[in-house]
Chains A and B, each alone.
Chain A
Amino acid sequence: MPEPIRTILAKHSREPDELIPVLQDVQKEYGYISAESVRGISKYLRISENTIYGVSSFYAQFRFTEPGRHSVKVCLGTACHVRGGATLLEMLERGLGIHCGETTEDKRFGLDRVACLGCCALSPVVQIDKEIYSRVTVNKLTEQLKEYE
């Protein structure tokens, strides 16, 4: 077990109730929950790896792949959804060759969906790292992505 996981676990008791807090700590430390972390947590809390995965995949806050150098978040809030957010996401999935929640093999992009970024007037909205792109189209987005290395 890598040291940081050990330290994280040591801060919690071995009660099953500690699962979510532990997961949050791990996510904070690594940015994602790796198979190795799940194994470590499983042994410590005596919960099966499969259950841990099941529980954590229920919450959008946890991800299971290493984040990319750049995070691409497609808004699927009501307004964005209506104005083509879902299509954008699908195009991105195809273009990058990954599913939502995953990271490209070269670790360049990680793709996620968010519920609402709070700027519905600009919909559909995509956030790349800290930058918000409004009224996005597939073409515009493809151009934008080229600027991120």
Chain B
Amino acid sequence: MTREKKLKVTIDSRELEVRPNTTILQAARESDVYIPSLCTLEHLPSYGACRLCIVEVDGLRGYPTSCTTPIEEGMVIRTDTTELRSLRQEILKLLLSEHPASCLFCEEHDECKEFQGTIRKVGVTTGCRYCPNDARCELQEITEKVGLTETSYPVYYRGFSVEKYDPFYDRDYNLCILCGRCVRVCNSVRLNGTLSFKQRGKLTTIGPAFDRTHLEAGCEFCGACVSVCPTGALSAKVSKWYGKPDTQVTTTCVYCPVGCRLELQVKNNEVIDVLPNYDSPIDRGLICVKGRFAIPEYVLSPERLGTPSRLTPVGYEVISWDQAIDEAAKRLRGTKPEDKLVMVSPQLSNEDLFVAQQFTREVLGSDAVISSMMIDLGDDLVPFLELVTSSSTFDTIEDARGVLAVGFDSTYGYSPVGIRIKKAGREGALLVTLGACDSNLDMLSETAFQMEPPQWAEFLGSLVDYLARGGKGKVKIRKEWTSDIERISRIFSDSSTNILVIGQEAIFSSGRREIFEKARTLRDKLGWKIIVAHPYTNLLGMLAMGAFPGAKPGEFLKNGDAVTVDLPVIDLAKRKKVVYLIGEGRFDTIPDCDYLIYQNGLPPVASRQPDLILPASLFTESSGTTTNGEGRVLKIEKATEPFMDAKPDWWIFNRIAEKLNKGKLKYKDVAAVQAAIKKQVKGFYGGRKPVEFARINAERATKWLRGAPKQEGQSSGAGNNPSYRGIPLARVVAGMKAIDEWVNTSLLSDKEAQ
């Protein structure tokens, strides 16, 4: 890169050198000159709506807005003259004439700010009914900076009714100043397009088409608009009355394998809100509804398990940890290895998974540490893992010239991947979608193919054959597809980088085995990149840590040879003596047993009552790491103390092992676990580069699963139902339930329409 030549400019009589290709506002900021501004925001295109950022520039007529005026060599700029100051005050007054403003000019203002942390500063008659007053209001800040202490205009109340019918956030457009930040973030950053300005002049409002609700209009509930709103017009339902958070803790989301970085907002030892981190190279701050809105309600759920308890003939009895550990040890002692089964969730941390496998192997003397995820995949597990471990990084999408997405929709999940795909499409890459109904990528796709999932494999097969032969020779293709396949094949074969994205619907479709095979051909024969958008958060960590039958820690990592997965045959129809579930909440996949130990944060979704309940802490309550879908090892940071008497999973294993007098597990803390991992899994905490996995021999996929419950082809398991530690988010998070119901009804009406 050639070094950009700096420009010489004068700002407020100071001679400065600034970067070229920026605006006056940006240049001023970078030189520590303050210019008031409201509508502009980093990451968003400039818009010039609020006009507070006006400046004087020699040779330019009038007062240009600095956020939209490019900086030029030799410019002489004044940012703080008497005229500018009075103009700004006037502009702000006009702006405030439509915004309830009593909190801004109140005489008690200063005292109030310091001593009176009330929710509502002023009477509801002033229109301040829904302002969250959470210290994020930029109007308050600007009014002070611009030095406005009173207003001479009467306030015009627009009298809109507050929109509270959508999940997760409320909208009080009486407080809106029409800065357009939300419209811009929704359209240019999220590439979603739910929001737009409607009407004009005095009647201007913001919202979706035809008075639709946000749910109907295709909103992702990503909350980006809420985060950028400089007023109290948009506010999160759950957190709005909490006021200002005490601290912020940076951590990683464990709801899916993207591994978005999150800023947990903590107050009084509770996670009250979650904000994105725009500096995160993984997700670029483009988090989805789950990370943004579905964490506080889950971790603070009134259903949380807080004390160990055991089932007695008259119900559950609360017991101490000592009693609980005794009880667990008593049941696990003496049973033969084949009578015991340990099941772990792929949403545990690397450290917990490592200790889980060590516990199973060294303490219980068994190799049977499995996961309901393995049962979801059944005999297609090995081909699936083969693809997952060779999945490409998300950044590859940015350079892709062709993207084919099968059964993928990123409305309510995987949005950092979905938005990258949309961006590629908008910047001219060929984007083709294959799905059963409309997907949120269709808007930017060149072609959106709609057909029933059983046909996807065939379609893909035809495309692969056609591509493999370079259009020569005879390929059997259904008549109705021929011209389309020929057309897109031509573009795909001209493109330097192509990516196949396999979405959850494809992973849970009946033809998945074939889809996986075609994907392998695309990757190995035609050099395509593959991204598998599966729901199992720390699946790669599970493999790396060896929390997997027949594979010790580190065996799956790259060190030369391909690995052959030799799965022991597991018979779910055979009754077990003890089943020990860690973070597994679905019981449709577990075998019958005499004694059931349930270690989790929330009660299970099942009729079978566990015999022993061990309350576990959640990812906001204990530290560790998780491995994302690209193989990056990311930090999970403890933000609050565990709920009541809940404990981290590794701690519980430790205690039971102690009781059983099996020496090895003597971890003092997570750091000790990590030290052990470092010894056994070389290079795991290596740094910024993703962990690399060995090639898995997919040809030798054995039939390993017996007696598995019949699955309904399609929507099995975690597929369409995001969950954390086996508990569907929709069960504990009201907004997720609303989304769930909406998705189901719209799917139904789509079907009826067809």
Contact of A48 among B194, B198, B210 (CB under 8 A): B194
Flag whether A42 is at the interface (Cβ < 8 A).
yes
Which partner residue on chain B sits nearest A58 by CB separation? B200
Question: Considering the chains assembled together, what is the distance between the CA atoms of A4 and B27 in angstroms?
Answer: 52
**Contact residues of A: prevailing secondary structure:** helix
Contacts of B218 in A (CB 8 A): 48-50
Interface residue? A5 (CB, 8 A): no
Q: Which residues of A32-53 are within 8 A (CB) of B?
A: 35, 38, 42-43, 46-53
A48 and B192 in contact (CB under 8 A), knowing A53-B209, A54-B209?
yes
User: How many residues belonging to A are interface residues under a CB distance threshold of 8 Å?
Assistant: 17
User: Which residue of B199, B209, B442, B444 contacts A50 across the interface (Cβ within 8 Å)?
Assistant: B209
Known A-B contacts A53-B196, A58-B200; the reply to A46 vs B444 at CB < 8 A is yes
Interface flag for B541 (CB, 8 Å): no
> Cβ of B200 and Cβ of A53 under 8 Å apart?
no
In the complex, which residues of chain B have a beta carbon less than 8 angstroms from the beta carbon of A52?
209
Q: Which residues of B contact A54 (CB under 8 A)?
A: 196-198, 209
Evaluate whether A50 and B197 lie within 8 angstroms (CB atoms) in the complex, with A38-B209, A42-B443 already known.
no
Given the complex of chains A and B, what is the CA–CA distance between A58 and B218 in angstroms?
22
CA gap between A48 and B443 in the complex, in Å: 7
Q: Which of A35, A42, A43, A46 contacts B210 (CB 8 A)?
A: A35
- Kindly state the separation between the CA atoms of A52 and B193 in the bound complex, as whole angstroms: 10
Which of A48, A51, A55, A64 has the most B CB atoms < 10 Å from its CB? A48
Q: Is B403 an interface residue (CB 8 A)?
A: no
A51 to B187, CA, bound (A): 9
B319 within 8 Å of A (CB atoms): no
- Give Cα A64–Cα B200 distance, bound, in whole angstroms: 15
Confirm or deny: A57 has a beta carbon within 8 angstroms of a beta carbon on chain B: yes
User: Contacts A42-B443, A46-B444 hold; do A51 and B210 have CB atoms under 8 A apart?
Assistant: no
Q: Would you list which residues of chain A between 7 and 62 have a CB under 8 Å from chain B?
A: 35, 38, 42-43, 46-55, 57-58
Report chain A residues within 8 Å CB of B332. Answer: none
Q: A38-B209, A64-B210 are in contact. Are A50 and B443 (CB under 8 A)?
A: no
CB of A58 within 8 A of CB of B192, answer no
Within the complex, the shortest CB–CB distance from A63 to chain B, in Å, comes to 12
**Quick one: which of A35, A38, A48 contacts B193, CB cutoff 8 A?**
A48
Q: Which residues of A contact B738 (CB under 8 A)?
A: none
**B197 near A58: Cβ-Cβ < 8 Å:** yes
- Confirm or deny: B208 has a beta carbon within 8 angstroms of a beta carbon on chain A: yes
Asked whether, in the complex, the Cβ of A49 is within 8 Å of the Cβ of B217, the reply is yes
* Contact of A50 with B194 at beta-carbon distance under 8 Å, contacts A35-B210, A64-B210 already known: yes
> How many residues of chain B have a CB within 8 Å of chain A?
20
Q: Is the CB of B208 within 8 A of A53?
A: yes
**Chain A positions within 8 Å of B443 at CB level:** 42-43, 46, 48
* Assembly CA distance A47 to B443 (angstroms): 7
Contact between chains at B199 and A58 (CB < 8 Å): yes
Q: How far is the CA of A124 from the CA of B209 in the complex (A)?
A: 33
Interface residues of B in 206-232 (CB under 8 A from A): 207-210, 212, 217-218
- Determine whether B195 belongs to the interface, using a CB cutoff of 8 Å to chain A: yes
CA of A117 to CA of B559 in the docked complex: distance in angstroms?
83
Q: How far is the CB of A27 from the nearest CB of chain B, in Å?
A: 16
Contact B196 A51 (CB under 8 A): yes
Which residues does chain B contribute within 8 Å of A43, judged by CB atoms?
442-443
With A48-B193, A48-B194, A48-B443 as contacts: A53 and B187 at CB distance below 8 Å:
no
Chain B residues with CB under 8 A of A46: 443-444
Chain B residues with CB under 8 A of A50: 193-196, 207-209, 212, 217-218
Q: Which residues of A sit under 8 angstroms from B212, Cβ to Cβ?
A: 50
Closest B residue to A45 using CB positions: B443
Contact partner of B198 (CB less than 8 A), chosen from A38, A42, A49, A53, is A53
Of residues 251 through 272 on chain B, the ones whose CB sits less than 8 Å from some CB of chain A are none
Q: How far is the CB of B432 from chain A (nearest CB, A)?
A: 14
Residues of A within 8 A of B197 (CB): 54, 58
B160-200 interface with A by 8 A CB criterion: 187, 192-200
Residues of A within 8 A of B199 (CB): 57-58
**How many Å from the CB of B435 to the closest CB on chain A?**
14
What's the nearest-Cβ distance from chain B to residue A132, in Å?
26
Min Cβ gap B115→A in Å is: 44
Q: Which residues of B contact A35 (CB under 8 A)?
A: 209-210
Residues of A48-90 contacting chain B, CB below 8 A: 48-55, 57-58, 64
| 4 nearest A-B residue pairs (beta carbon) | A48-B193, A54-B196, A53-B209, A50-B208
Q: List 26 A-B contacts (CB under 8 A).
A: A35-B210, A38-B210, A43-B443, A47-B193, A48-B192, A48-B193, A48-B196, A48-B218, A48-B443, A49-B208, A49-B217, A49-B218, A50-B193, A50-B194, A50-B195, A50-B196, A50-B207, A50-B208, A50-B217, A53-B196, A53-B209, A54-B209, A55-B196, A57-B199, A58-B198, A58-B200
The interface of chain B, by Cβ under 8 A from chain A, is 187, 192-200, 207-210, 212, 217-218, 442-444
Q: A48-B194, A50-B212 provided; 12 other pairs, C-beta below 8 A? A: A35-B209, A48-B443, A49-B209, A49-B217, A49-B218, A50-B196, A50-B209, A50-B217, A51-B187, A52-B209, A54-B198, A55-B196
Interface, chain A (partner B; CB < 8 A): 35, 38, 42-43, 46-55, 57-58, 64
